[in-house]
Amino acid sequence: MSIDGGVPKLTYEIRVRGELDQSWKSYFNGMTITPAYSGDSPITTLIAAVADQPALRGLLCKLWDLNLSLISVRQLGEDCAKEV
């Protein structure tokens, strides 16, 4: 019954088409946001630590609702986790 959903256990790398700047950090609860380019088109890499799968789903839904095209979603191992 506790509301603070425990310590984040999973780290995901999500890449979307388009450029999201750092102003999005608070909307996405403190994700790491890194813009990049693939050829000429802008891509943003987001690194998020989530507590569980439902949390991941919620995050993906947020991206979805903004009509951001997903390029890839990848789970990162513990050693690869960047700072949140």
Q: Which positions touch other proteins (CB under 8 A)? A: 1-4, 18-21, 23-24, 26-27, 42, 44, 62, 64-68
Name which of 62, 45, 50, 55 is nearest 11 in CA terms. 50
Shortest CB 28 distance to other proteins, Å: 9
Structure tokens at 19: 């450029």
Shortest CB 77 distance to other proteins, Å: 29
| Eight-class DSSP state of 25 | T
Name which of 45, 48, 58, 44 is nearest 83 in CA terms. 48
Shortest CB 80 distance to other proteins, Å: 26
Is the Cβ of residue 53 or residue 78 nearer to other proteins in the bound state? Answer: 53
Is the Cβ of residue 36 or residue 80 nearer to other proteins in the bound state? Answer: 36
